[in-house]
Amino acid sequence: MNHLPVLPILLPLLTGALLVTLPRLTLNAQRLISLGSTLAVLGLVLWLGASVLEQGRLVYALGGWAPPFGIVLVPDRLSILMLVLTASLALPAIIYACRGDDDSGSHFHALFQFQLMGLNGAFLTGDIFNLFVFFEVLLIASYALLLHGGGTARSRAGLHYVVINLIGSALFLLALGMLYGLTGTLNMADLAVRISEAPPADQPLLQAASLILLVVFGVKAALLPLLFWLPRAYTAAAAPVAALFAIMTKVGLYAMLRVFPLAFALDQPLATLTAWQWLWPLALATLALGSIGVLGATSLRNMTAYMVVVSAGTLMAIASLGSAEALAAGLFYLVHTTLLTGGFFLFADLIGRQRGSAGDYMVATAAMKDRRTLGILFFFAAVALAGLPPFSGFVSKAWLLQASLGEGVAGLYWPLLLGAGFLMLIALSRAGSKFFWRQSPERDHEMRADRVRFACVLTLVSAGLILSLTAAPLADYTRSVAAQLMAPGDYVRAVHEAGLEMTGGH
Amino acid sequence: MEALYAIAVGVLTTCGLYLVLRGRTFPVIMGLTLLSHGVNLFLFASGRLALAAPAVIGESARPTDPLPQALVLTAIVISFAMTAFVVVLALRAAVELRSDHVDGVDPEEDWRP
């Protein structure tokens, strides 16, 4: 059997374990190992992507236990999209952290690797209990990463974050218990078959389980009544951690896109699911709240945190339409927004470091030494994020608007999306003019921007241009991802055939 | 037995939920513990309740489903570790914020001299 699918999980696990257990590793050695591992993960997921593109979908049975009894990893096009996105966000984040953020607490690199392992595992697994376990792995690593560096703001935000996610985990287990009690399986492909064949008497309980799952994934994905932990936590986290957290809300969305179309919508259209119908109004409210938050934020990091909320609302709203075209547009936007908001968290830190005690708060202070370079980059980054041409924000938003037009919901979605974009533009220009134009007459700050840190921000921000230039192939790819998501029968068949092959057809 | 079991799960979950919504960290942690006990029992029951039915094939005429027991074991390990973690976190927050309120400040506390 080809063992490639499990390597993106094993490599960060072993690296993390090595970093924890090897005694007295110098910080530089830790950095080297961690960087090497992250780079290797990127290579591995690209390699895995090449073989997935060839065959459409791989099925890997862990330990050689045939599905549906054993745990399977099922890397498909959606998994590859998320894996490549995670790795390409993690690499600049870890390089940024190596410039000094990683020595303000212990075990940063080990925790970062465990977080990567949890993320990769969640994107690969085809077993719903295994999904829970990988959620726990990434959450436990994120609890410690959020607290990295210490301080009262982090303790307070950390307490909220940990408690709400523990309750989320308890609810996840309740939903899994209900699903297992009713169907007797945890393999998602097998679950799909059993749920579609479930007797009518079981339907209310199955629906309850699906709604509990929506709440659980909604906590992770920042759906409206469950998102109030997010702005504070993302604002308090160290910059590289916050940048990596930009993918964490997308894990919730990924889980929704993986579980609902497959397990619950095998024999009915996705948009008719009760859980999916709740998504539309809540996502629109999330979008509205996020855009108000963006306008009300007092620091650039806080503003970026609310932009994460805006993007979560936009994504869940377009996903709730449940058509292939809408999903394809949403996935394109997902790539754009994850890289750009991740870059903005780093950018806020970079700016904050040059402004002395003013930090990244939007107050007038003495001019920055590198105001010209940073100002030009900020201008382009803001244009890309707010969705103006020629960057990917514009391309993705135009596609979102076009995709929603075909669904007859444009009357509600267009004003909210365009209004959110407008409010973001106002907030970003206000931040830019506070940072680069309104300067108090004191002597300029002497701090120079760190070159490596600047390069990390530049890399992530230039994603806006690169995605815009490569929009056509990427759009084709997200279309193929959406088409694969809309055909859950193929997933079930692939896992079933793999099981038959392993047991010799019995 | 089923009724007793269901009532126990319900009481644990209700008390857990109530305590989780309290304002101070200690009741919240107690609530999380009760909630996880309730969840573990619930998960255990998803394999159906049976007397004198070991989870080993061949030990008796009618073995019980071993999978929920494995799931509960995983859930217990995770929830036990997380309880320990959240206790330490709450202590640290209480020391740093000088308050054991979940928001770090008690809105009802009177600060006037």
CA B58 to centroid of chain Cα atoms: 34
Q: Nearest chain B Cα to A136, which residue?
A: B78
Query: pLDDT band at residue B112, thresholds of 50, 70 and 90?
Result: low
Residues of A in contact with B43 (CB under 8 A): 173-174, 176-177, 180
CB A354 within 8 A of CB A307: no
Residues of B in contact with A152 (CB under 8 A): 96-97, 104
Whether the per-residue pLDDT at B113 is higher than 70: the answer is no
B87 close to A (CB below 8 A): no
B19 close to A (CB below 8 A): no
CA–CA gap between residue A62 and residue A70 (Å, rounded): 7
Q: Nearest chain A Cα to B9, which residue?
A: A174
CB contact under 8 A, B102 and A181: no
CA–CA gap between residue A148 and residue A497 (Å, rounded): 46
CA–CA gap between residue A238 and residue A349 (Å, rounded): 8
CB contact under 8 A, B43 and A140: no
Q: What does residue A224 show for φ and ψ, rounded to 5 degrees?
A: -45, -65
| Residue-by-residue DSSP string for A208-220 | HHHHHHHHHHHHH
CB contact under 8 A, B102 and A162: no
CB contact under 8 A, B90 and A180: no
Cis peptide before A68 (omega within 30 of 0): yes
Instruction: Find residue B24's DSSP bridge partners.
Output: B101
Across the interface, which of B20, B43, B65 has its CB nearest the CB of A167?
Answer: B20
Q: Nearest chain A Cα to B30, which residue?
A: A163
CA–CA gap between residue A397 and residue A402 (Å, rounded): 8
Across the interface, which of B74, B79, B102 has its CB nearest the CB of A159?
Answer: B102
pLDDT of residue B102: 84
| Residue-by-residue DSSP string for A64-131 | GPPTTTS-EE--BHHHHHHHHHHHHHHHHHHHHHTTTGGGSSS-HHHHHHHHHHHHHHHHHB-BHHHH
Best B71, B72, B105 residue to mutate vs chain A (most A CBs within 10 Å):
B71
Residue B98 CB neighbour total at 10 angstroms: 10
CB contact under 8 A, B68 and A178: no
B71 close to A (CB below 8 A): yes
Structure tokens at B43: 């998960």
Query: pLDDT band at residue B103, thresholds of 50, 70 and 90?
Result: confident
Higher-pLDDT residue of A362, B14: B14
CB A122 within 8 A of CB A258: no
Residues in chain A whose Cβ is within 8 Å of chain B = 129, 133, 136, 140, 143, 147, 151-152, 155-156, 158-160, 162-163, 166-167, 169-170, 173-174, 176-178, 180-181, 184, 186
Q: Residue A496 is inside which H or E element, if any? A: helix A488-502
Would you kindly state where each structural domain of chain A is located, as residue ranges? 1-268+487-506, 270-469
Angle at A467 between CA A297 and CA A232, to 5 degrees: 20
Residue spans of chain A under pLDDT 70: 1, 505-506
B30 close to A (CB below 8 A): no
Best B32, B48, B91, B95 residue to mutate vs chain A (most A CBs within 10 Å):
B32
- Tell me how close the Cα of B113 comes to any Cα of chain A, in angstroms: 25
Residues of A in contact with B85 (CB under 8 A): 140, 143, 162
Residues of B in contact with A68 (CB under 8 A): none
CB contact under 8 A, B78 and A136: yes
Residues of B in contact with A186 (CB under 8 A): 67
pLDDT of residue A288: 94
B37 close to A (CB below 8 A): no
pLDDT of residue A271: 83
- Tell me how close the Cα of B36 comes to any Cα of chain A, in angstroms: 6
pLDDT of residue A411: 84
**Residue B3 CB burial class (10 angstroms; 0-12, 13-18, ≥19):** exposed
pLDDT tens digits, A373-432: 899 999 999 999 988 888 998 999 999 999 988 777 888 899 999 999 999 999 999 999
CB contact under 8 A, A155 and B92: yes
pLDDT of residue A376: 92
CB contact under 8 A, B68 and A147: no
Instruction: Name residue A9's amino acid.
Output: I
B90 close to A (CB below 8 A): yes
Residues in Cβ contact with A170 at an 8 Å cutoff, skipping those fewer than 6 apart: B32, B35, B36, B39, B79
Structure tokens at A150: 């210490």
CB contact under 8 A, B103 and A178: no
Nearest to residue A173, comparing CAs of B2, B65, B13?
B13
Residues of A in contact with B42 (CB under 8 A): 173-174, 177
CA–CA gap between residue B38 and residue B28 (Å, rounded): 15
pLDDT tens digits, B20-72: 999 899 999 999 999 999 999 999 998 888 887 887 877 777 888 888 989 99
pLDDT of residue A407: 78
CA–CA gap between residue A250 and residue B8 (Å, rounded): 37
CB contact under 8 A, B25 and A176: no
CA–CA gap between residue A180 and residue A166 (Å, rounded): 21
CB A421 within 8 A of CB A386: yes
What is the average pLDDT score of chain A? 91
CB contact under 8 A, B48 and A129: no
Q: Work out whether strand A72-73 and strand A60-61 pair parallel, antiparallel, or are unpaired.
A: antiparallel
CA distances from A373 to A95, A304, A458 (A): 20, 21, 11
Q: Nearest chain B Cα to A181, which residue?
A: B46
Structure tokens at A272: 């008719």
Q: What number of C-beta contacts closer than 8 Å exist between A and B?
A: 88
CA–CA gap between residue B101 and residue B90 (Å, rounded): 9
